Structure 1
Amino acid sequence: MRLSVLASTAAALLLSTSSPAGAAPQQQQPEPVITPANIVVLVDESSSISAQDVDRERDAAALIALGEFAPSSTIAVVGFGSDNGGQSPVDVVCPPSTVATAQDRQRLSDCTRGLKSRKSGEGEGTDHAAALQQALSYLEGDKNGPKLIFLLTDGKLDVSDSPRYGPDNVGDQRNRTASELIGTLLQQANREKTQIWPLGFGNVDQAQLDRFAKGSFQGQCGVKSPTPAATVVSSSADVAQALIKAFQAARCAGASDIQRTPVSSGGTAEAKVTIPVIATDGSILVTKHDSRIAVSYVDPDGRTVPKSGTQGDSTFQVSGENGTVEGLRIVNPLPGTWTVKITSAPGVPPLDVSTVVMYQGAVRSSMTVNPPAPQAGQEVTVALSLHTRSRSITDPSALKDLSFTADVEGEGFTTPIPLNDDAQNGDSRNQDGVYSGKIVIPGEAKGAVKFTGTVAGIGISSDTRIVEAALVTGPRPLVATTTFGNTDWNVAPGDTVSGTVTVTNNSGRARKARIVVADAAPGTVASIPGEQTVLDVPPSGTSTFDFDLAFADDTVKGANAVTLRVVDDENPDDVIYEWRLTANVEEPPPLTQIAIGITIAAVVTTALVLFLHRRRRRDVRGLVVHLYDGHRSRGDLAAPEQPSSVFRFHLGEAAAGVPHLAHSAGGEDSYELSRVGGRLQLRTPYGDTQSLHLGERVDVSPSLSIEVEDEHSPVGFSEEHHQDPFTAAEPQQRPSDNHLL
């Protein structure tokens, strides 16, 4: 059935977000963007750095320069040694530059080649203090986004030959002076909220690196994320991976592990990397080590993407093709597994090419508060969810490392609200991407309270929502709740989910309420039939109304999310009740696939039934052998209660002249009883085989006989009913009693 669109007054509210009772609805926020960063990479150029170490440092610095995904971020790369008399202790190889265009990133890639290893007479010491001074000068004042310093060094502080730390000082006196200056610079970094992430390789001073990290600003991406920490690796070969891990933690970026792919001279190879569904901005970075290596990129749909321009909803910019590190920046990448095709030119030596993905999700969170206008002492449920530019995110694996936090603040109190997505403490559905929790407003609270919800963590650009709610006294004129019963939250495009709204009228006069669809996630197209949106509420009591939420044919496939609100029709700004709803929209499988699936299931089921039937018919459990001496019973023996196709027993003597049955593990004196073709078969220790029926007495010696019963057979069960279904219909083709099925 074709569903009508929302009534015009309800449609107008589609642009609103959570609003307190009596407040004007807020306009929809602009689409989420990546928060920029201000980054300085400090690279050790002291004489202990080998030519290969410098190459590794250049590549690592280029990874940061090409991998940064926010266009308005600024990046500077500074080499440092020392001033041994007449030299500058720092080399500003890349002044602060934005990364808005491919040309910007190409310049950064090119300028990193200016990093070098200083030789004797060029200031070959290690002046960490001068390096930090230079970095902090670029990061002074208010900046939009985090301020980050990455320090790459292979040595200890060594300014023993630098007169700038006291012309009359010598050796350790100068180092002590520089160390004191570092302490002052760390205080400055802390005041100006600048993080320092040191990375050491070789013979480093671990305590000094720890001092840099712990003395700087202890910012973090979220409660599950680390604060600045020093990393030490064994050699420069591990610098790139370590720097990416530090960048990931500092920049709130997602990053894959580096994939190392051997490429032969003149040969080709492929590397696979995965871009997750939460990524909206990212870069595929390829460390080629030789500019003659060519790279192309294939998306999860098998299409080679352009290195500049758009394809589908994605935008691409490549930079660094003429260098040792190449980066493809992607806005709105297609999630899934990408293939990086690597081609080496003749004459290029065999190399290990490294590939890595760095990304971030630009997200916007949605927060609901129920009831929207609470009373002091009342329990309130807060729910928080998020979406990117293109879709709602509900996949637990994409959300597990993020932190969903909330609190309520009023005059004289701030109380945290524990949130969960485990269907407990206020959360209605397990693992649906909506994190909820309950809190009781303090009984002494007055005026208004403010609810704050934040989603943060590695892999996203964090977002905070604030809802201010005026506290009310006495019962509200209208109160509402909703239920969805056992709704299936997997729907096809054009299909619906059904729910009910229960409204209690405390006003004493007939009222109207209205259901409104609001705050739809990007790509979600959903509506309620117009005739179901208006709720006519009698003067008193509680009334229940059914409604259907339809997801349009052109709604985004996958996770869909909307906020449903019940508002007072006389004052649509007065939100009575609201809740966040998510559903998974997928095309149903074609009928042919369903038919094939049913057929396969039927065949498998039939085969399984027949297999189990035959196995049961061979199973000797339930068989009991009774022993007779003439007409005198000499006891019985039951088959072991474990699956088996053979019941082994032997005849012995319990006492002189007294026959006795006992279980046997096999051997020359064993009798073997089995089921064959619906009958029983007995093999004697003498090699004879004979058939017998249940209840039939057969001789096993001149004086002894046995009779077999089946305790698992129902009373009155005859052997004719125990026939094989394949042989019972055609008894003339029944195999001989001596043949096993």
Structure 2
Amino acid sequence: MRCSEISGIRPGGKTALLLAVVVVLWTWLVVPSVGASARILEPEPAVGSADIVLLVDESSSLSTDDVRREREAAAVIALGEFAPASRVAVVGFGSDNGASGQSAVDVVCPPTIVATAQERQVLSDCIGRLRGRTAAEGDGTDHYAALSQAMSYLSGSAADQKMIFLLTDGRLDVGDSEAYGSTSSAEERNKVALEKVDETLAAARAKGVTVWPLGFGTVDRAQLDRFAAGGHQGSCGRGVAKPTATVIEGSGDVVWALLQAYRLGRCAGGGEPREVTLDPGATAETTVDIPLIATDGSIVVVKQDPRLAVEYVDPDGRAVPKNGTVDDSTFQVSGENGAVEALRVVNPKPGPWTVRLKSFPNLPRTTATAVVTWQGAVRAVLTVDPPSPTAGQEVAIALALRTRTRPITDPAALSGLDFAVDSGFAGPVTLTDDGRAPDTAAGDGIHTGRATVPADAKGDFEVTGTVSGVGIASDTRSVRVPIATGPPELSATTSLDDTEAAPGAAIDGVVEVANTSGRARRVRLQLADIAPGTLVSVPGDATTFDVPPAGRESRPFRLDFADATPLGVNSFTLVLVDDEVPEVVIHRRQFTVDVVRPTPYARIGVVGGGVLVAVAALVAFVVWRRRRDVRGLVLHLTDRGRPRGDLAAPEMPARRFRFAVEDHPGGPARLEHTDAADAYSLTRVGGALRLHHPTGEVRDFLLGDRVALAGELSLAVVDERAAVVDDVPTL
């Protein structure tokens, strides 16, 4: 539609209309909304593409069962590949011994994109053309010809990963092939072919192609190791195996051995194969587990008998469509008419999936096996605080992980992944998520470390963070950090009073700002890096506040979580900027909040009416207030391990316990109550404690833990509140 055709708009007003549209789009995309972050259009995380060539031995030494299992193994990989932009080729190989019509390679499936069910069905059908050769067809083992054919497909590939999987039941054998010397002996021909293999592997290494050999039967292990070591040596991260050869006794395990090699090469996760036995006319079930971190995957069923029917049931007990969408998940099946069937799932619901198989009365007794392979499309979130440090200053570097649907904080889901940061000046930074400084909360998925800017540093430096490992498509983020030329005029810290909230509820927090500029300043609180689904905001009247010309100012704020905020972990970054010059970032810190269902008190009113609602609300409020009341806390100060006295929180209800550590000349340090803004401040946070240092550092710790203060001083906190009877109303 042209602008002049829009009702109410004159042709001459097209410029004004376009300008208005531009302004609206600019405001939506770039300008922060009230209390919210700038909306930055960034592509959602996606699994990387792979270019895969399966080289399958067709020599005459293969039995009928060997060939069947090779076909199943090839189908498990081809149909189970989960990235729609990936490409798969299947090439059989033997040898060319000079007879008419012979070819060392047999391209049964040319490179095929696996975006649609139809394309994957083409692969399922053509894999069935793999066969065992006769002597008349050239039944040697020409690894060079096979690898050369694979490289002809992969040399110019732009895929994120390029892989060759070589299935063979013997060593290289081209003794009857005159292509390697018309008058040479068999030994000389094999030597020439092996030299050509080395040349091809060098090309593979240069082009970033990994080689994963799998041998069964009578194979030369050293030769296969040589093949694996000759190609590209990339892996899925530090501590993850590089390409290696796998050797098994017979073809019985070839399907699962190849699947394991594929997972290592593809940086994919997965479970163990689950086998069931079906009698004629019977139904059998098994389960496969899809973890929280998985965003793309395939449930593959080796049916052996194509006539078996398969149904897939999600963790909620719903049978999902084989093609279609349910909630946020999409499904696509292939291979239903073959011995191997696969259901590709995008954004699967995490948990145990049931695979239900049905036989029919006229079918023989058989076995079937189900297995799942998956990967998480992830995005790393990297922050540096302070965002503009001075030379010689220490910075806190935090790295977290989220998928396209949710933040990931579960230690089990993160186990095995590598969180790595390079500071740009001091090399690798040690990261932890154990709640020990500089990490502020254990197990929140935010891995934190420290680095010190060199004393002579100038200009800026780049901090790089990478999350990698088996089970995810690794992601790297970089932050350019400018070095301030003098002491910072403004510095800040932020903290939240709780790490849990209900949908539609709020969490209180505190921002503390130190001003050394000598003039009053105004700062603005913003939200950034908001996780998918997280609906959180700072009320508009609390986004900006004034800071006096000198000293430290402490201001409360509130985070509101919308009713539609999803249950579970939600994450975001709090950012404080100079309101006069918003591009000057003063402070940046990542947070995670667990959004949980409201307590039963909130629902009692449906049964008992307004009075019960009021009483329940009062109970909930008193319990909430008590969880944060610092009464009962007692501080115990030590100096080099020697006790230096204690200090109890005031008996008046309060959410903050402010105190100072006074160092008297000629006497020991001691604790004192104070109302000064630059004092230590202690609060309760859920079942833990949070200590705000006068320097702005924030530490979370548990009762009984010892926390370092200045010099050799340390502090422990006990709670004597348990002995007090609470005046909590009862229903």
Compute the TM-score of the two structures, normalised by the length of structure 1. Answer: 0.76
Is the 2:36–2:538 Cα contact (8 Å) retained in structure 1?
Answer: no
Tell me what 1:11 maps to. Answer: 33
- Whole-Å separation in 2 of the counterparts to 1:152 and 1:418: 41
Change in 2 beyond 3 A, CA 1:593/1:481: closer
Report the secondary structure of 2:541's partner residue.
helix
1:390 correspondence with 2:402: no
1:401 is displaced (CA, Å) by 1.2
- Whole-Å separation in 2 of the counterparts to 1:400 and 1:519: 23
Q: RMSD value over aligned CA atoms?
A: 1.9
1:489 correspondence with 2:502: no
Alignment of 1:469-618 (within 5 A): 469-484=481-496, 487-588=497-598, 590-591=600-601
Change in 2 beyond 3 A, CA 1:169/1:297: same
- Whole-Å separation in 2 of the counterparts to 1:451 and 1:462: 17
Report the secondary structure of 2:321's partner residue.
coil
Tell me what 2:206 maps to. Answer: 191
| Offset from partner CA, 1:496-515 (integer Å, 9 cap, x none) | 22221110112111110011
| Offset from partner CA, 1:446-466 (integer Å, 9 cap, x none) | 211001111111111111111
| Offset from partner CA, 1:199-258 (integer Å, 9 cap, x none) | 111111110111111111110111132110111112211111111111111101111111
Tell me what 1:143 maps to. Answer: 158
- Whole-Å separation in 2 of the counterparts to 1:116 and 1:525: 57
1:425 is displaced (CA, Å) by 4.6
Tell me what 2:140 maps to. Answer: 125
1:424 is displaced (CA, Å) by 2.8
Tell me what 2:449 maps to. Answer: 437
Change in 2 beyond 3 A, CA 1:28/1:381: farther
Tell me what 1:223 maps to. Answer: 238
Tell me what 2:106 maps to. Answer: 91
- Whole-Å separation in 1 of the counterparts to 2:35 and 2:123: 46
| Aligned mate of 2:394, from 379, 398, 413 | 379
Report the secondary structure of 1:245's partner residue.
helix
- Whole-Å separation in 2 of the counterparts to 1:502 and 1:560: 24
Change in 2 beyond 3 A, CA 1:185/1:543: same
Is the 2:312–2:354 Cα contact (8 Å) retained in structure 1?
Answer: yes
| Aligned mate of 2:319, from 304, 310, 326 | 304
- Whole-Å separation in 1 of the counterparts to 2:544 and 2:442: 30
Alignment of 1:253-292 (within 5 A): 253-292=268-307
Change in 2 beyond 3 A, CA 1:14/1:249: farther
Code of the residue aligned with 1:239 in structure 2: it is: V
In structure 1, the gaps of 5 or more residues are 1-5, 18-26, 596-741
Report the secondary structure of 1:571's partner residue.
coil
| Aligned mate of 2:366, from 351, 364, 382 | 351
| Offset from partner CA, 1:624-662 (integer Å, 9 cap, x none) | xxxxxxxxxxxxxxxxxxxxxxxxxxxxxxxxxxxxxxx
Is the 1:13–1:518 Cα contact (8 Å) retained in structure 2?
Answer: no
Is the 1:224–1:401 Cα contact (8 Å) retained in structure 2?
Answer: no
- Whole-Å separation in 1 of the counterparts to 2:98 and 2:291: 52
Change in 2 beyond 3 A, CA 1:414/1:151: farther
Code of the residue aligned with 1:188 in structure 2: it is: A
Report the secondary structure of 1:11's partner residue.
coil
Code of the residue aligned with 2:78 in structure 1: it is: A
Change in 2 beyond 3 A, CA 1:542/1:68: same
Tell me what 2:11 maps to. Answer: none
Change in 2 beyond 3 A, CA 1:111/1:533: same
Tell me what 2:77 maps to. Answer: 64
Tell me what 1:621 maps to. Answer: none
Tell me what 1:159 maps to. Answer: 174
Is the 1:244–1:255 Cα contact (8 Å) retained in structure 2?
Answer: no
Alignment of 1:562-711 (within 5 A): 562-588=572-598, 590-591=600-601
Is the 1:43–1:80 Cα contact (8 Å) retained in structure 2?
Answer: yes
- Whole-Å separation in 1 of the counterparts to 2:159 and 2:92: 25
Is the 1:392–1:561 Cα contact (8 Å) retained in structure 2?
Answer: yes
Report the secondary structure of 1:91's partner residue.
strand
- Whole-Å separation in 2 of the counterparts to 1:98 and 1:344: 32
Change in 2 beyond 3 A, CA 1:14/1:167: farther
- Whole-Å separation in 2 of the counterparts to 1:68 and 1:41: 13
1:480 is displaced (CA, Å) by 0.7
Change in 2 beyond 3 A, CA 1:85/1:520: same
Tell me what 1:424 maps to. Answer: 436
Show structure 1 runs of 4+ deviating over 6 A: 592-595
Change in 2 beyond 3 A, CA 1:593/1:51: farther
1:448 correspondence with 2:460: yes
1:172 is displaced (CA, Å) by 1.0
- Whole-Å separation in 2 of the counterparts to 1:13 and 1:151: 56
- Whole-Å separation in 2 of the counterparts to 1:361 and 1:327: 18
Give the share of equivalent positions with the same residue, in percent.
53
Is the 2:170–2:217 Cα contact (8 Å) retained in structure 1?
Answer: yes
| Offset from partner CA, 1:117-138 (integer Å, 9 cap, x none) | 0112111111111111011111
In structure 2, the gaps of 5 or more residues are 1-27, 606-731
| Offset from partner CA, 1:517-559 (integer Å, 9 cap, x none) | 1111001111122222212101111100111222221111111
Code of the residue aligned with 1:504 in structure 2: it is: A
Tell me what 2:264 maps to. Answer: 249
| Aligned mate of 1:202, from 214, 217, 228 | 217
1:28 is displaced (CA, Å) by 3.6
